[in-house]
Each structure stands twice: as structure tokens, then as C-alpha cells.
């Protein structure tokens, strides 16, 4: 269902003339990704490469996003990537308020169709929808919940690429919070679906015990003695005793007998052999891949 809605929106966007931006476009960029995406990324506007191909984030900013997806073990196919305006502004200028407003119904319909649990805004223009007048330098990385959905503002990847020293670091740190946001959103979804409220711990009273002196003891009835034919049951002790009498310990073969006495010269030799074996095992052990042992802090430099 949502896929058809998205296809319909894309069709409309391709021929849209609701704002000035239609004049300069080569191709409109409706957005792409999974119609059932858990996470939706919303950028600003198509740039040169996007305008040429009609696909979102395929230039340098897109390459940074791809590195981020890889580091987060996500793919473009898992998420949805859209923009606030679907046509490229001339010389990549900022989109004007009236252009954002004209294009808003498309984005509204995309969000409604995908119904993502997490929205990540990229840059101040997509952030403004949820934080009007907010400053990205103060708000980035701070997620909020709205209508059962988590929204997290991030810097625009182009800003991260422009300021590698500071913005890039913050961009990466914010990106690494995404998996936890997804997990949190799943928890919210479960709560809404099932009305799940964590149960109060149940208090179980200890069982009431009756004091011993109050318990009446009725003497058990004497049971009838059971008669057993003497021949039917062989007394086991006798059998075991017979077997024990027959038992002969197996003589220890000379080759397998433990060496109990060694000359002083032999000792270092034995020790040496053992060490050699140990070293051989160590050498044969495959080395751990570098990525496997990286700490979270180190991971931040991965994309």
C-alpha cells in the first residue's frame, strides 16, 4: 500500500509546478528507499548530482551518508531518504520559505505513508519543521518523541564535510545514537500496540505453617507383611563378593606407564617440548580483525 502511495507522490512531483524551483530542475527528486522503513532521513534540497539523476543524496553528502550507513550496519534499502524540497534551487541556494511551504504536502504524505518510527533530520531546514526557530548547534543529537515517533536532528552532511574538525565529529557522535533510538522506538511501538505496562512485582506471602504441636498424628496401620519366595531374589552381596574374588587388576603396559623417574638432564628437554607446542598453537591462532576489537570511541572515526 505505502509503496503505491510513494509511487503516486513521485509521479506528481515529477511534473509539479507549484513553486519557482520547477523552472530550473533537470529531474525532480522525490526520495527513495523502503516504503516500510523504520528510519527516515530528511535532507534539504537536491544538489547538482541529485538533479541530474533524480535520486537523493548521491553526491559527496550522499557518500558520507553511505559511509555512515555502513558503520551502523544499515543499507539505503532499509531506510527512506527524502528532502524538504524536491527540486534543486539555483546554485544550491537555500530553499525559500514559500518553496518549503509549497512542497510540504508531498513530504507530509511521504511521512504518513511510510510512518517511520524514527525521523532523522539532516540540516536546519528539515529540523525547522519540528523545532521552529531552534538552533541546530544547540539541538543536534537531542531526540524528542512526538506522536509515538522519535525525531532526532543532525547536522547536514555537507556541513560535516565543510568543517571536518568539529562538525564532522558531532555528526558522527549523533549518528551512533541511531541504533539506540531504533531500539527505543520499538519499545514505544510495543507499548502502543499492546497497551503493555510493566507489571508491578507480585508479592507472594509465605505459606502459613501449622505449629508442630498442633498437628495430630494418627498412627499408621500396620501393613501386611509381604512374603517373598526365597529362590526368586538372589542376595546381591554374595554376587558382588564373588566377582571381587575373581577380580584381577589389568597389568600396566610398559609403554603407557607414567614416567616416574627422570634424570636431571631430561627435565629441561621435556619443558622445552611443551613450550614449543604452546607456541605453535599460539602462532596458528588466527588474528582478530582490527574492526572486531575497536572500542566505541574508536568506532567514531570509522566514517
Buried b (16+ CB within 10 A) or exposed e, 138-148: ebbbebeeeee
Give min distance, CB of 201 to ligand URA, in A: 49
| Among the listed residues 13, 7, 8, the one whose alpha carbon sits nearest the alpha carbon of residue 87 | 13
Per the CB < 8 A criterion, the answer to whether 155 and 136 are in contact is: yes
Count of residues of this chain found to bind ligand URA when the rule CB under 6 A is applied: 11
Give the cell for residue 134.
Answer: 531552534
Name the grid cell of 285: 591462532
Tell whether residue 87 is a contact of ligand SF4 (CB under 6 A): yes
Alpha carbon distance 206, 152 (integer Å): 49
Q: What mask, x for binding ligand SF4 by CB under 6 A, covers residues 27 to 66? A: -x--------------------------------------
CA distance 57 to 84: 13
Kindly report the number of other CB atoms within 10 A of residue 75's CB atom.
12
- The reply on whether position 160 binds ligand SF4 by CB under 6 A is no
- Of 9, 10, 16, 119, the one binding ligand SF4 (CB under 6 A) is 16
Among 43, 54, 116, 153, binds ligand URA (CB under 6 A): 43
Query: Which does residue 43 bind out of ligand SF4, ligand URA, none, counting CB within 5 to 8 angstroms by kind?
Result: ligand URA
The alpha carbon of residue 155 and the mean position of all alpha carbons in its chain are separated, in whole angstroms, by 22
Choosing among ligand SF4, ligand URA, none, which partner's interface includes residue 119 (Cβ < 5 to 8 Å by kind)? none
Residue 33: CB minimum distance to ligand SF4, A: 18
Kindly tell me the sign of the dihedral angle through the C-alpha atoms of 36, 42, 45, 48: negative
57 binds ligand URA (CB under 6 A): yes
- Residue 86 interacting entry, from ligand SF4, ligand URA, none, C-beta within 5 to 8 Å by type: ligand SF4
Q: Among candidates 103, 118, 112, which has minimal Cα distance to 46?
A: 103
121 binds ligand URA (CB under 6 A): no
Number of residues that bind ligand SF4 (CB under 6 A): 14
Draw the binding track, 224-253, toward ligand SF4 (x: CB under 6 A; -: no contact): ------------------------------
Distance of CA 46 to the CA centre of its chain: 30
* Chain residues that interact with ligand SF4, rule: CB under 6 A: 13, 16-19, 21-22, 28, 85-87, 99, 102-103
Amino acid at each position: 500500500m505505502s509503496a503505491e502511495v510513494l509511487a503516486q507522490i513521485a509521479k506528481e512531483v515529477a511534473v509539479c509546478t507549484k513553486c519557482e524551483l520547477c523552472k530550473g530542475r533537470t529531474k525532480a527528486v522525490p526520495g527513495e528507499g523502503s516504503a516500510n522503513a523504520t528510519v527516515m532521513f530528511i535532507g534539504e534540497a537536491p544538489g547538482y548530482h541529485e538533479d541530474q539523476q533524480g535520486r537523493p543524496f548521491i553526491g559527496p553528502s550522499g557518500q558520507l551518508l553511505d559511509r555512515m550507513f555502513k558503520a551502523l550496519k544499515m543499507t539505503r534499502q532499509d531506510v527512506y531518504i527524502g528532502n524538504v524540497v524536491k527540486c534543486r534551487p539555483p546554485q544550491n541556494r537555500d530553499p525559500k520559505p514559500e518553496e518549503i511551504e509549497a512542497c510540504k504536502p508531498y513530504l507530509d504524505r511521504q511521512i504518513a505513508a511510510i510512518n517511520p518510527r524514527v525521523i532523522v533530520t539532516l540540516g536546519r531546514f528539515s529540523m525547522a519543521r519540528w523545532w521552529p526557530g531552534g538552533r541546530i548547534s544547540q539541538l543536534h543529537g537531542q531526540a524528542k518523541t512526538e506522536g509515538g515517533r522519535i525525531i532526532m536532528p543532525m547536522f547536514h552532511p555537507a556541513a560535516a564535510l565543510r568543517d571536518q574538525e568539529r562538525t564532522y565529529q558531532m555528526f558522527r557522535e549523533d549518528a551512533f545514537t541511531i541504533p539506540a533510538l531504533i531500539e527505543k522506538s520499538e519499545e514505544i511501538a510495543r507499548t502502543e500496540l499492546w497497551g503493555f505496562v510493566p507489571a508491578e512485582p507480585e508479592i507472594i506471602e509465605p505459606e502459613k505453617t501449622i505449629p508442630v504441636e498442633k498437628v495430630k498424628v494418627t498412627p499408621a496401620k500396620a501393613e501386611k507383611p509381604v512374603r517373598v519366595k526365597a529362590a526368586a531374589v538372589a542376595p546381591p552381596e554374595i554376587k558382588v563378593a564373588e566377582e571381587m574374588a575373581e577380580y584381577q587388576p589389568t597389568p600396566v603396559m610398559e609403554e603407557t606407564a607414567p614416567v616416574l623417574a627422570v634424570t636431571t638432564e631430561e627435565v629441561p628437554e621435556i619443558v622445552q617440548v611443551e613450550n614449543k607446542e604452546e607456541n605453535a598453537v599460539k602462532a596458528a591462532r588466527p588474528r582478530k580483525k582490527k574492526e572486531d576489537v575497536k572500542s566505541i570511541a574508536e568506532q567514531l572515526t570509522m566514517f
